[in-house]
Amino acid sequence: MQIPADLKFSSDHEWAKATDLVVRIGITDYAQDALGDVVFVDLPKVGSSVAAGGQVGEVESTKSVSEIYAPVTGTVTAVNEALNSAPELLNAAPYGEGWICELTVSSLDEFNALLSADAYAQLTNN
């Protein structure tokens, strides 16, 4: 299982990467593996506000439907439209082409408080 060292992680199995005050999020390799084959992704609406820990979307797989939680508070400024026609990108490239959305935040305090790759590896016993 991949756990990139340059990302931050939530205990709900989302990853986050900050570029200035824009935080790109997605689900982890661990999460996509647990879900199985992803068949649908319900993306958030651009312009919507989300609180850290609040639901930002859903992922439907052949096994279950799971909520996607925002690891930080912010406003949705971009969504990965490619997931509408190719939800399997979450399985194939969870840290690359399978990103879910980008949030603009007012500060990086919540981002900085997320788990490091090492801490996430301990959480998932990897």
Segment 71-76 mean pLDDT: 98
102 in a structural domain: yes
What is the CB neighbour count within 10 angstroms for residue 89? 21
Total domains, the chain: 1
Nearest to 72 by CA among 112, 124, 100, 99: 112
| CATH code where residue 99 lies | 2.40.50.100
What does the block give as tokens for 70?
């925002």
Give pLDDT tens digits for 25-73.
Answer: 999 999 999 999 999 999 999 999 999 999 999 999 998 999 999 999 9
6 Cβ contact partners less than 8 Å away, ≥ 6 residues apart:
17, 117
Mean pLDDT across the stretch 97-101?
97
Per the structure, the complete domain to which residue 16 belongs is given by: 8-115
pTM to 2 decimal places: 0.95
Q: Determine, yes or no, domain membership for 121.
A: no
The predicted pLDDT at position 126 comes to 76
CA distance 28 to 4: 10
Residue 7 is predicted with a pLDDT of 98
